[in-house]
Amino acid sequence: MFYRVAQSILLLVGALLAGSAVAANTGDVKTGKLVYERYCLSCHGAQGNGQGEAAEYMSIKPRDYRQGTYKWRSTPSGSLPLDSDLEHTLLNGLYGTYMPTWRALDERSRRDVIAYIKTFSPRFGTEKPQDPIIIPPDPGYSVASVARGDAVYKKYNCAQCHGAGGQGDGPSAHELKDDWGNGLVPYDLTKGHVKCGDKSTDIYRVFMSGLAGTPMPTFADSLSPVDAWDLVHFIQSLSPLYAKNMASGETGGAR
C-alpha cells in the first residue's frame, strides 16, 4: 500500500512537473489564436497565408506562414526556425517592412501567438529545426579587415545582385522573385539599417542562413568564418550609419 501511494505521488509530481515544463516552453495555441486575431490577422490573414485585408496595400508582402519559411533564422538554409527565432522577429520587427516591433506584447502572449502561428505549417509537426549556426566572436572592425572584406565581396560575386558599389543594382537585381512570385530587389547596403538586424552578428548570420523564401542563398558551405567577418566589416563600411558608429567606437547598432 505504501509503495502504491508513494508511486502515485511520484507520478503526480512527475506529471505536474512535465505539465509545467511544457507550459513554460511552448505557448498555448488557443490563447495564441486570440492574440493572432487581435494583432496579426489584418496583415497575415485568417488562414495565415499572408493575405490579410491590409496586404494588398503593401509592396513587401506579409509572410505566408503555410510553408514554414522564415527569413530571420539562427538555423541553416532549409531548416525550420527555432521558437526563439520567431520571438526575435516579434521583438525587433523587420526594418524596412511593415512588420513592427511587438515589444508591447508580454512574454506569455508572444509564446502563445508563436505556438498558434506554427499551426499554419504542417512542417512543424513532422520536422525538427536543425542546430543553430555557430557564430564565432567578432574579431573587431578595422580598416585592414574592411580592405580584406572588399576582396571577399569581389571573390564571392556579391555584386551579381548587390552591385559593385553595394547599392542593390547588380546584373541580376532585376526580375528577382520570392517563393510566392512577388517581385523584390536586393538590399541596398549603402542605405543604413539592415532588415534582419544591425548587429555585426546579424549580418554574419544572414550570410550563413540565407534569407529563406528570397533569392539570398546560404554561403555557409563556401565562406570561411574569417572571410565572413571581413565581409561583415566591409558591409558595415558601406553604411553611413556604421561609419558613424565605428568612429564613436561602437561595434554595432543596438536594436
Partner 1 sequence: MVNAMSAGGRLHGRVARVGIAIVALTALVAMRPVRAYEVATVTNGGSIEGVVTLSGSAPATTPIKVTKNQDYCGQAIPDPVYTVDGSGGLANVIVFLKDITKGKAAPTEPLALVNSKCMFSPRAQGAMVSEQVKISSEDTVLHNTHPQNADTNATIFNVALPFKGFSVTKPLPSMPMMIKVKCDAHEWMHAWIMELDHPYYATTGADGHFTIKDVPPGTYTLAVWHEAAGANTAPVTVAAGQTTKSKITLAAK
Using DSSP's 3-state secondary structure scheme, residue 185 falls into: coil
Query: In the complex with partner 1, which residue's Cβ is closer, 38 or 174?
Result: 174
Distance separating alpha carbons of residues 22 and 108, to the nearest angstrom = 13
The residue assigned the cell 520571438 is: 87
Distance separating alpha carbons of residues 179 and 160, to the nearest angstrom = 20
Query: In the complex with partner 1, which residue's Cβ is closer, 25 or 222?
Result: 222
Query: In the complex with partner 1, which residue's Cβ is closer, 56 or 221?
Result: 221
Query: In the complex with partner 1, which residue's Cβ is closer, 7 or 142?
Result: 7
* Cβ(235)–Cβ(203) below 8 Å: yes
Residue 246 beta carbon to partner 1: minimum distance, rounded to whole angstroms: 27
Q: Nearest 5 degrees, angle CA 196-CA 201-CA 206? A: 45
Query: In the complex with partner 1, which residue's Cβ is closer, 116 or 207?
Result: 207
Residue 11 beta carbon to partner 1: minimum distance, rounded to whole angstroms: 7
Under the rule (CB under 8 A), what is the footprint of partner 1? 8-9, 11-13, 15-16, 19, 66-69, 76-78, 123, 155-158, 160-161, 171-172, 174-177, 179-181, 210, 212-213, 215-219, 221-223
Residue 104 beta carbon to partner 1: minimum distance, rounded to whole angstroms: 31
Measured N-to-C along each axis, helices 107-118 and 29-39 cross at an angle, to the nearest 10 degrees, of 100
Query: In the complex with partner 1, which residue's Cβ is closer, 12 or 46?
Result: 12
Distance separating alpha carbons of residues 45 and 50, to the nearest angstrom = 5
Residue 64 beta carbon to partner 1: minimum distance, rounded to whole angstroms: 9
Residue 170 beta carbon to partner 1: minimum distance, rounded to whole angstroms: 8
Residue 180 beta carbon to partner 1: minimum distance, rounded to whole angstroms: 7
* Cβ(98)–Cβ(62) below 8 Å: yes
Burial 84-98 (b: 16+ CB within 10 A, else e): ebbbbbbebbbbeee
